[in-house]
């Protein structure tokens, strides 16, 4: 069903009306003002990405457009030296990690595609039209010739809500046989939807789809950054663990070499078999040190790749305590995470957008638009001298929207609302479990680690006592070597627990979105 109601008025005036007259100047001024207003409306505040940045703040690597060094794979390249701590490695990896940059560019590409969809339907289009019309008719011996020439500059403004506004300014020349008339003219057309129109509903449907794609790309970037930063911090602690293991084995090797001198000074019994046993043990430890050093270099290269820094630069890895959640209870951590987590903020923004679309779909049962048009031919010259005319019309365009259209849009918007709300629940559940597990493991592992550290002096004293007992013949070589191996194993267990505490801190940073708060280096680190 469609109903159109129009009211139209037209008047011809004989009094002079020219561009130099006050009325003509006022008309031109009005046209210029409205044109400037339309230009402003089309250029300010219509790009969705600007509003998206207000609702969800996403950090961007400052070196986003910087190309990686061509020498990053060259063994002779040294470049900048890095002093890395668990705190400082996070912003460095965020700046240089290529997968994070690639994921961010995918998000920006999707954002640009959504902006294109929006602005192409919210555009300002200037036009220039030039037309010539020649006509000739013959009746008996009478020949009538006419020519019309039109030049028009117009400006069309389309708004995303389907409003259409068009202004025109032109000059027309009419020639009929020997009579010529010239006349300028202005025109305006407006179509403004009073309620949701069919076109607006269809546009809203596509807007929901494209906005969901943009939200998915944003979530992908957030998840990729969180995953990569967790991997970098995990590898940092892994390399530190390998370095401690190598150092502990080297201490073991040094003690065995020192023990060799002790065995050579044994008197009163034959220690040659014990020396052979000691040399075999020493050779085994030396081989394990060699393997640890090679594995350390491999893992260091993987760590550099995870950070995105050149492979052959010098890196000093500084081990220091790092726990930005010190003193926080699980409840406090959960509440803070729900408020600051960028993934939850993105999903909440998607819910709000879908709720707006749902409201629009429910109200979109009728299409009612207000129509306004006007045109004025100003005083011209020749046969148009001293005459002008103008016309105006306004009315309503009413039509009913097929209920199936609104129903499908309602169901689509409702499904999106439920989907995003369930995604928020899933993310909150993940935060709850991951934070609870990581906090518990950090507490228990730290306590166990401290107990082992407190017990190390006993293992050292036990080994020193064993050396004295061996010299007195109270202890055999196998038991003595076992005591030294036990000391190494205790130190290795302390190193392993230290690694696990760091790994759980990394998981906690990932679970809470803390990485995004730690991206900017502290003032002390910048110095």
pLDDT tens string 76-101:
666 678 899 999 999 999 988 889 98
What per-residue confidence (pLDDT) applies to 4? 44
Residue 260 Cα to chain centre, angstroms: 61
Report the alpha-carbon distance of residue 513 to residue 506 in Å, rounded: 10
Pairing of strands 381-382, 179-193: antiparallel
What per-residue confidence (pLDDT) applies to 498? 94
Is the distance from CB of 187 to CB of 153 less than 8 angstroms?
Answer: no
- 459 is a domain residue: no
The strand pairing partners of 393, in sequence order, are 8, 373
Percent of residues, the chain, with pLDDT higher than 90: 30
Total of domains in the chain: 1
- 519 is a domain residue: no
Is the distance from CB of 204 to CB of 360 less than 8 angstroms?
Answer: yes
Is the distance from CB of 143 to CB of 159 less than 8 angstroms?
Answer: no
- 146 is a domain residue: yes
For residues 230-250, give the mean pLDDT: 95
Q: Is the pLDDT of residue 397 over 90?
A: no
For residues 451-458, give the mean pLDDT: 95
Report the alpha-carbon distance of residue 46 to residue 158 in Å, rounded: 12
Q: Is the pLDDT of residue 183 over 50?
A: yes
Q: Closest Cα to residue 173, out of 126, 131, 144?
A: 131
- 447 is a domain residue: no
| pLDDT tens track for 255-284 | 999 999 989 888 778 888 999 999 999 999
- 271 is a domain residue: no
Provide Rg for the chain, Cα atoms: 40
Tokens 């040094």 sit at which residue? Answer: 254
Report the alpha-carbon distance of residue 78 to residue 313 in Å, rounded: 5
For residues 283-298, give the mean pLDDT: 95
Q: Closest Cα to residue 201, out of 484, 397, 457, 403?
A: 403
Residue 312 gets which letter from DSSP? Answer: T
275 burial (CB, 10 Å; 0-12 / 13-18 / 19+) is: middle
Residues in the chain: 527
- 27 is a domain residue: yes
Pairing of strands 82-84, 315-317: parallel
Domain residue limits at 182: 1-44+125-158+163-195+367-400
Tokens 């680690």 sit at which residue? Answer: 449
Buried b (16+ CB within 10 A) or exposed e, 306-315: bbbbbebeeb
Orientation angle between helical segments 198-264 and 403-471, nearest 10 degrees? 10
Report the alpha-carbon distance of residue 181 to residue 383 in Å, rounded: 5
Pairing of strands 179-193, 82-84: unpaired
- DSSP string for residues in 28-50: HHHHHHHHHHHHHHHHSS--HHH
Does residue 368 or residue 71 have the better pLDDT? Answer: 368
- 7 is a domain residue: yes
- 142 is a domain residue: yes
pLDDT confidence of 186, banded at 50, 70, 90?
confident
What per-residue confidence (pLDDT) applies to 229? 94
Residue 521 gets which letter from DSSP? Answer: P
Is the distance from CB of 480 to CB of 279 less than 8 angstroms?
Answer: no
Is the distance from CB of 168 to CB of 157 less than 8 angstroms?
Answer: no
Q: Is the pLDDT of residue 483 over 80?
A: yes
Tokens of 186: 């202005």
Which residues neighbour 234 within 8 Å (Cβ) at sequence distance 6 or greater?
502, 503, 506
Buried b (16+ CB within 10 A) or exposed e, 44-75: eebbbeeebeeebebbebeeeeeeeeeebeee
Tokens of 500: 């696990």
């Amino acid at each position: 069903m469609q109903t159109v109601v129009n009211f139209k008025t037209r008047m011809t005036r004989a009094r002079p009306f020219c561009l130099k007259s006050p009325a003509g100047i006022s008309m031109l001024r009005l046209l210029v003002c409205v044109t400037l207003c339309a230009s402003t409306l089309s250029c300010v505040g219509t790009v969705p990405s600007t509003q998206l940045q207000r609702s969800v703040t996403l950090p961007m690597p400052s070196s986003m457009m910087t190309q990686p060094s061509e020498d990053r794979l060259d063994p002779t390249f040294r470049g900048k030296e890095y002093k890395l701590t668990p705190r400082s490695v996070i912003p460095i990896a965020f700046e240089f990690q290529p997968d994070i940059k690639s994921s961010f560019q995918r998000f920006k590409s999707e954002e640009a595609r959504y902006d294109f969809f929006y602005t192409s339907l919210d555009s300002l289009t200037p036009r220039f039209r030039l037309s010539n019309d020649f006509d000739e008719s013959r009746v008996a011996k009478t020949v009538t010739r006419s020519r019309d020439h039109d030049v028009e500059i117009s400006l069309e403004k389309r708004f995303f809500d389907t409003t259409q506004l068009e202004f025109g300014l032109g000059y027309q020349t009419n020639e009929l046989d020997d009579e010529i008339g010239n006349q300028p003219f202005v025109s305006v057309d407006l179509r403004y939807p009073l309620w949701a129109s069919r076109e607006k509903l269809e546009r809203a449907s596509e807007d929901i789809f494209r906005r969901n794609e943009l939200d998915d790309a944003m979530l992908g970037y957030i998840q990729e950054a969180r995953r990569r930063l967790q991997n970098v911090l995990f590898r940092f602690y892994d390399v530190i663990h390998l370095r401690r293991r190598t150092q502990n084995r080297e201490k073991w090797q040094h003690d065995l070499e020192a023990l060799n001198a002790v065995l050579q000074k044994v008197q009163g019994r034959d220690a040659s078999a014990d020396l052979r046993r000691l040399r075999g043990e020493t050779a085994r430890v030396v081989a394990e040190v060699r393997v640890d050093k090679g594995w350390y270099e491999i893992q260091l290269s993987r760590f550099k790749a995870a950070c995105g820094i050149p492979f052959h630069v010098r890196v000093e890895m500084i081990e220091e305590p790092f726990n930005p959640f010190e003193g926080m209870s699980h409840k406090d951590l959960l509440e803070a995470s729900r408020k600051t987590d960028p993934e939850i903020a993105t999903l909440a923004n998607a819910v709000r957008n879908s709720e707006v679309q749902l409201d629009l779909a429910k109200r979109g049962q009728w299409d009612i638009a207000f129509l306004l048009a006007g045109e004025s031919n100003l005083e011209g010259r020749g046969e148009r001298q001293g005459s002008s005319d103008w016309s105006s019309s306004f009315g309503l365009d009413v039509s009913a929207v097929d209920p199936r259209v609104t129903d499908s849009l309602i169901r689509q918007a409702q499904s999106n609302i439920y989907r995003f709300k369930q995604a928020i629940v899933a993310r909150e559940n993940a935060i709850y479990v991951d934070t609870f597990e990581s906090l518990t493991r950090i507490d228990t592992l730290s306590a166990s680690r401290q107990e082992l550290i407190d017990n190390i002096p006993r293992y050292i004293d036990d080994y020193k006592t064993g050396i004295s007992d061996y010299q007195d013949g109270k202890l055999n070589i196998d038991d003595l070597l076992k005591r030294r191996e036990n000391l190494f194993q205790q130190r290795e267990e302390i190193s392993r627990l230290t690694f696990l505490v760091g790994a759980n801190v990394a998981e906690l940073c990932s679970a809470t979105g803390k990485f995004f708060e730690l991206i900017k280096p502290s003032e002390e680190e910048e110095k």
